[in-house]
Structure 1
């Protein structure tokens, strides 16, 4: 609390001790303010942790809050190397026989001419090379590599260029369309001049290359597959709409082989999501319980006695224990599908009860969890409840902002009080210094008088 005072030492009073005792007494209001501020900062931290726990629980509830997410599906292929499949949130159960007659391919066209060196041989000194509707203009000497770079610098060009070494001292320009499918084929109009020259195959001699299958190393084609004997064509090997709610990817052409794709409900995914929700709920419960214990011990920084915490716990208990018979399924309560409360206030999953509830499919369990827009299920209701706490302008954000405002106000009060105490200490130092000096003078005068008396 400031520097000490150096006194004369001629009197028996230790003014530093007196000064520190006075300042300690007068600093008690400051200490009280600092303690209040520290407690508020701990509460802000506590509400921050609470928001994290609530947000985690909200995310877990959201993962089961719609019919698509609450009723998970799994897709399998009899030959995943030939046909891949993945089920989305809107998948539908079904069996699909798939025959891949053709794969979608990108056009590949190579130059008919070669250059002895890709980096030094000048193949053109002027002219143009037109790919589809994009024209590459050459105004100076270029090598095969430089021409390739010029093509790739045109973002709108329908093809990417590369240089391939096809033999000893033999380099070719290779053009590959940027996307698969017949609609993404491109033509080449070669009007380059000078240099050693660059040529492309032109089977039909119309001064346009790439418009004939024989012009190309690979002809652009669409994917063709029979799905349950219905012809499906696509510019891509990824079929997003052929199997409802699922994505099919074609990898291998084999018209003689039928690949079987099965899409079925997947209780294991639903179970894993439920376990995630239960874990998040239990983490939140433990945190609120720990805060309550801390408050019971007198911890002023705990949020255990805050009405908001009691309100949150009560709302969650109400939502978890309510009846959801209106969702239209055979289950009205979470306990009927194996989600049970423990004496400690946590949740646990009874695997046997869950397995029994999903033995005929997970759709009925999904109705209880998600419900519908008009009649939300248990986890859809909990998600809505928690969103009120976690959104940007939500309850928890508001509480933290109020506490932060109080902390800021206390900071101002603390600074003002520290300034006043510093002034008070300086004043006391000056008073004690003056008193010490006065006492020293009196002592000196007394000594002088004694000496005078002794002389006579």
Structure 2
């Protein structure tokens, strides 16, 4: 029996088109499931948008749920060339007179050497402070032993820097061609008299020039002190103080003073005041995050009359629940909050008809700046009652946690997509088997009709010869 490599060649019938039509019918259930998957993937993407918006709102709420978030102050100085200041947590409003009589300095010791210098011995490098009660006049805070045997001037510099004691070494050259043009400069990394340098054990680097009960110290002839260590000396409202550095964090609670220059007889006034801008910025960030979530939820459930299309989560119960939970957490009163502030509306934040929040900046700034009132507990809570920010943060966390509405809804969509994958795979296997069967049947049909056509043509030829 003759056979044909392409359907329809033997029979002259359009069997390929017929087979394609039959298979399109067989594949229709797969197309339906794939369309369902496409819808589920749109829902999954939509839940991702909701998760991101809820997370952003949680972050913005967290920035307002502690009293420290409202302890924002500015620090100003009447002469920033002398003193600058910054306020942190713990600061309170006030004004302070600051005088600077001496700035902190880090000690520098330099030793002069000729070209080609090589060292022998182990250098004992110490940091500490002069102490008349110590036998050798020096109270060591930390030290290190550095083997300099066979090292050049550059090698000694590198070894000191690698020791990590808190000093740095550099080399300078005075440019002369004879004598001792090179200076090995050893500098304490921290200022103050408590971070002075002492060196011993290597010829040309000995420096123990401190007085004490044991008598004055010594130093090699080529070693000098180029900068003496000294503490910062200053006063705040007439109270004399001394610190090792020029950045002072513990003179005024919550305030850092940066000493830059000595005063010239006139004290500098440092003023600490409330910073309404910082608090307002945090509140506006919170409002924006709330409105962003509200818009996402609205857009994902809205119906577009022009395009006649509905949002990916139109009618979804989870969206309605999220909207309700967030709105409740936002608009409910905070019982016991001081200053008459029990609702966001009291400080100029009102709920609009579309579910968004609107800010009356004038009213908000007045509430923040009022020295007689404190808006913090409206957001943080009081006497066991959660504030607005605390409620929203907890609500967001519950939605995003394992088993929470957003997470469980997302997991459910993923499971549905996976289940459809299994059904589509099984249907594709079935369709493949059906196509193979049809193709075999059509091939047999094509071959049979083709053979019959050949026989018919032969008989017609023979009958023609009998005429």
* TM-score, length-scaled by structure 1: 0.87
Alignment of 1:365-444 (within 5 A): 365-372=375-382, 374-391=384-401, 394-444=404-454
For 1:267 and 1:242, the matched residues in 2 are separated by 25
Measured against aligned partners, the alpha-carbon deviations of 1:92-111 in whole angstroms (never above 9, x if no partner) come to 21222222233332221111
Q: Residues 336 and 382 of structure 2 are in contact (CA less than 8 Å); yes or no, is this contact kept in structure 1?
A: no
**Which residue is 1:340 aligned to?**
350
- Within the alignment, does 1:100 sit opposite 2:100 as a pair? yes
Q: Which runs of 5+ in 2 are unaligned?
A: 127-142
**Which residue is 1:275 aligned to?**
284
**Which residue is 2:62 aligned to?**
62
Q: Residues 102 and 232 of structure 2 are in contact (CA less than 8 Å); yes or no, is this contact kept in structure 1?
A: yes
Aligned partner of residue 174 in structure 2, secondary structure = strand
> CA offset at residue 172 of structure 1?
0.7
Q: Residues 399 and 405 of structure 2 are in contact (CA less than 8 Å); yes or no, is this contact kept in structure 1?
A: yes
Larger displacement relative to structure 2 (217-226 or 334-343): 217-226
Q: Which runs of 5+ in 1 are unaligned?
A: 116-120
Alignment equivalent of 2:297, drawn from 270, 288, 299 = 288
**Which residue is 1:114 aligned to?**
113
Alignment equivalent of 2:256, drawn from 239, 247, 254 = 247
**Which residue is 2:22 aligned to?**
22
> CA offset at residue 68 of structure 1?
1.7
- Within the alignment, does 1:322 sit opposite 2:321 as a pair? no
**Which residue is 2:195 aligned to?**
184
Aligned partner of residue 113 in structure 2, secondary structure = coil
Q: Residues 124 and 198 of structure 1 are in contact (CA less than 8 Å); yes or no, is this contact kept in structure 2?
A: no
Paired residues in the alignment total 437
For 2:89 and 2:365, the matched residues in 1 are separated by 22
Alignment of 1:231-246 (within 5 A): 231-246=240-255
Structure 2 CA distance for partners of 1:128 and 1:403, relative to 1, 3 Å: same
> CA offset at residue 203 of structure 1?
7.5
> CA offset at residue 436 of structure 1?
0.4
**Which residue is 2:159 aligned to?**
150
Q: Residues 187 and 209 of structure 1 are in contact (CA less than 8 Å); yes or no, is this contact kept in structure 2?
A: no
**Which residue is 1:87 aligned to?**
87
Measured against aligned partners, the alpha-carbon deviations of 1:388-436 in whole angstroms (never above 9, x if no partner) come to 2235775433432332333233333333332332232222212211110
For 2:405 and 2:195, the matched residues in 1 are separated by 53
Q: Residues 47 and 396 of structure 1 are in contact (CA less than 8 Å); yes or no, is this contact kept in structure 2?
A: yes
Aligned partner of residue 289 in structure 2, secondary structure = helix
**Which residue is 2:138 aligned to?**
none
* TM-score, length-scaled by structure 2: 0.85
> CA offset at residue 20 of structure 1?
0.9
Aligned partner of residue 231 in structure 1, secondary structure = strand
**Which residue is 1:124 aligned to?**
118
What is the Cα-based RMSD across aligned positions, in Å? 2.8
> CA offset at residue 440 of structure 1?
0.4
